[in-house]
Amino acid sequence: MYLQEYLIFLAAIVVCMIFAGYASYRVKVAFAKHDRVRASSGLTGRETAERLMRSGGISDIKVGKTHGKLTDHYHPTKKIVNLSQSTYDNDSVAAVAVAAHEIGHVMQKKKGYVFYNLRTFLVPVVNFGSHLAMPLVLVGLIIDLLSLAANPSLGFYIALVGVALYGGTFVFALVTLPVELNASRRAKEMLIAQGVLSQEQIDGAGEVLSAAALTYLASMLTSLVYFLRFLTRVLVLFGRRK
């Protein structure tokens, strides 16, 4: 029984790894393809980010440069949008699409986008919960084995709290998906509205952003598989003695 369960888990993880690899490949191919096409406005990633923030009435966010390729990210607490070397001084369709995506996150924060706020709230909760998940399951097992409580199900309930905390990683990945998709939608709207890309070029930008979204989908599916594996093991551990 255990071997069958483990083989199913292993097969699911292999499928997730293949999908993640495919998503990563799609991002690289899409970026390389549209990195050869110059944006109609001639703006670089940095200039695009600055223009979009000005048009959105944002003046307190800086645009910085970070090492690597496609390592772009928005750091809200430090009030900075860090653009990678492949984006910062690059005036290609791919580069301005990535830069606009990060400004999409800036606009989400400004406008109070519900899923963005939820993801922000979940960050410390997930970090805290991931450290407590396994200890709570172990405490639940000990109580269940030694029958230290008047309520014989107490150990099981404590273990389930640990499972729920472990599941926070999946919930975070699940919430991240609409956040990223919404940021990409905002990016395309801003690129057209501010004349950074022509109508003909916006499809190329969308291709880059859609490929990037696949990586978040792969991450969510992987988190789901690990959560289901953890839940199954806890249920089996308790179920064998009941």
Active site members: 102
Q: Side-chain half-sphere of 97: how many Cα atoms within 13 Å?
A: 31
Q: Is 4 exposed, middle or buried (0-12, 13-18, 19+ CB in 10 A)?
A: exposed
- Cα 240 to chain centroid distance, Å, stands at 36
- The closest of 70, 74, 76 to 30, measured between CA atoms, is 70
d(CA 201, CA 223): 35
Q: Is 129 exposed, middle or buried (0-12, 13-18, 19+ CB in 10 A)?
A: buried
Answer yes or no: are the C-beta atoms of 219 and 176 closer than 8 Å: yes
Using the 8-state DSSP alphabet, how is residue 38 labeled? B
CA-based max dimension of the chain: 73
CB atoms within 10 A of CB 59: 7
27: Cβ contacts below 8 Å, ≥ 6 apart: 70, 208, 211, 212, 214, 215
